[in-house]
Copies of this chain bind each other. A is one copy, B any other.
Amino acid sequence: MMGRSMHALLSRLYPICRSLTGEGVRRTLSILREYLPGLEIREASSGTSCLDWTVPREWNIRDAWVEDETGKKWVDFRQCNLHAVGYSAPVDAWLTPEELDACLYSLPEQPRAIPYVTSYYAPRWGFCVPHELREKMKKHPGRFHAVIDSELKQGSLTYGELALPGETDREVLLSTYICHPSMANDNLSGPVTMAFLARWLSERPRRLTYRALFIPETLGSIVYLSRHLEALKAKVVAGYVLTCCGDERAWSFLPSRAGNSLADRAARHVLSHHTPGWVEYSFLTRGSDERNWCAPGVDLPVASIMRSKYGTFPEYHTSLDDLSLVTDKGLSEALEVYKLCLEALEGNAVWRATRLGEPQLGKRGLYPTVSFAGSAEGWVRDMKNILAYSDGEHDLLSIAELVGAPFTRCLEIAEKLTAAGLLAYSSD
């Protein structure tokens, strides 16, 4: 049910031509703000230096096509916005098929797919086409009229930021990107899942503070780091990059550079208990904003939970990554998995047993009064084990790992033991 609403939002965002900068990003953020009224829209002007980078000129595109001398359109941006290479310079020229071919991009091994290509930092124009079509265009006897009605101008890079304060200023960083044109798993599944996750967070009590960033990939995180590095380093205790989480294939996990941060531990725990068959990738194969969140000197504890990881699924960065690849079920499961992770972060803490030795559970109604073989199994055993490891050092997440039970069950037991006076909060 939630999946249907999520897919509806994704379908609404899908046709917009997003890029590193420009109106497509702004339109996307403005739709997301309908779901998240607190979402702040931020800008960084073209030419701004940020760390090692410079914000480029803003790019907008109105139309693009290739037509022949009869006026027949062979390539039409209005049919699919992947046709124009991202950040293409404007062009309006008649070219021979050979001349045009030098500006075409296609995938010989996926002859019907339109690839997704960008050229943010080198001036260039080009069209992305199915390889089948390219072959036909090569043989066309006449010339082609190539038009890209785009504009590169002084403008800005745009991103969205939502802060959800909690009881403490220990912060969870949620990051997703909003710079890809019409593709569904990579990457609209990310912002859609994050929008629903942030809305859920906004409606519940929060021990931790949450910061949700909807940014253009790579440069967005660089801009954000250039503005907020010290605050992030001081506050962030865990974080996730939300991307590629809308299909129904095997779950994937990409750890932080440190590999065993709180974010990693919560993610592995949740995946182990709730998504059989999940795969752990090496940090070496990272490809999204964890490249910056986890860079040396930044070192935030940011990991990523995905379904089909970027770069590994056949539809990746092509027109095949469409609305049918991402499903209601896939999106709602991603939301659930991320909720479980955040619940683990919220509930995790270090407790200390208040009694020396095993307490008398029976007199508190926590233990059967008749003792026989097997009477101390199940719930009772988990309760005793949670007591046994509540030594002021193990946090509940590590106890859940030891005990082999889902965090939610362990938290329920810990709360019951706390209510009975047998556990006391020790530290986060």
A residues contacting B by CB (< 8 A) are 51-53, 85, 105, 115-122, 124, 218, 221-222, 225, 229, 257, 283-285, 287, 291-292, 294-299, 311, 316-318, 352-353, 355-360, 362-363, 369-374, 376, 381, 384-385, 387-392, 402-404
Residue of B nearest to A384 (CB): B291
- Name the residue in A283, A352, A360, A381 with the highest tally of chain B Cβ atoms < 10 Å from its Cβ: A360
User: Do A119 and B371 form a contact, CB below 8 Å, given A296-B352, A353-B296?
Assistant: yes
User: Do A363 and B121 form a contact, CB below 8 Å, given A218-B358, A296-B353, A296-B389?
Assistant: yes
Contact of A225 among B357, B372, B388 (CB under 8 A): B357
Complex formed: what's the CA distance from A420 to B316 in Å?
A: 32
A358 B388 Cβ-Cβ under 8 A: no
* A372: chain B residues within 8 A (beta carbon): 105, 115-118, 317
Can you name 12 A-B pairs with beta carbons within 8 Å?
A: A51-B356, A52-B358, A52-B360, A118-B370, A284-B385, A284-B402, A291-B358, A295-B353, A295-B358, A295-B387, A298-B357, A299-B391
* A355: chain B residues within 8 A (beta carbon): 51-52
B221 A371 Cβ-Cβ under 8 A: no
Query: Main SS of the interface on chain A?
Result: loop
A118 B371 Cβ-Cβ under 8 A: yes
A416 to chain B, nearest CB (A): 16
Residue of B nearest to A85 (CB): B370
Residue of B nearest to A257 (CB): B388
Residue of B nearest to A291 (CB): B358
A311 B373 Cβ-Cβ under 8 A: yes
- Name the residue in A119, A362, A370 with the highest tally of chain B Cβ atoms < 10 Å from its Cβ: A370
A128 to chain B, nearest CB (A): 9
B388 A294 Cβ-Cβ under 8 A: yes
Contact of A295 among B119, B371, B388, B392 (CB under 8 A): B388
B370 A124 Cβ-Cβ under 8 A: yes
Complex formed: what's the CA distance from A308 to B53 in Å?
A: 55
* A381: chain B residues within 8 A (beta carbon): 284-285
* A402: chain B residues within 8 A (beta carbon): 284
User: Do A124 and B369 form a contact, CB below 8 Å, given A229-B356, A403-B284?
Assistant: yes
User: Do A357 and B105 form a contact, CB below 8 Å, given A296-B391, A391-B296?
Assistant: no
B116 A373 Cβ-Cβ under 8 A: yes
Residue of B nearest to A364 (CB): B52
User: Do A373 and B297 form a contact, CB below 8 Å, given A52-B359, A53-B360?
Assistant: no
Contact of A388 among B121, B296, B404 (CB under 8 A): B296
A357 B221 Cβ-Cβ under 8 A: yes
Complex formed: what's the CA distance from A355 to B372 in Å?
A: 61
* A404: chain B residues within 8 A (beta carbon): 284
Residue of B nearest to A295 (CB): B357
Complex formed: what's the CA distance from A117 to B403 in Å?
A: 27
**Beyond A105-B370, A121-B360, A317-B372, 10 extra complex contacts between A and B, CB < 8 Å:** A52-B356, A52-B359, A52-B360, A118-B372, A121-B369, A283-B388, A284-B403, A294-B388, A295-B358, A298-B357
Residue of B nearest to A367 (CB): B121
A357 B51 Cβ-Cβ under 8 A: yes
Complex formed: what's the CA distance from A333 to B109 in Å?
A: 42
Complex formed: what's the CA distance from A266 to B242 in Å?
A: 39
* A389: chain B residues within 8 A (beta carbon): 257, 296
User: Do A292 and B358 form a contact, CB below 8 Å, given A287-B376, A381-B284?
Assistant: yes
Residue of B nearest to A317 (CB): B373
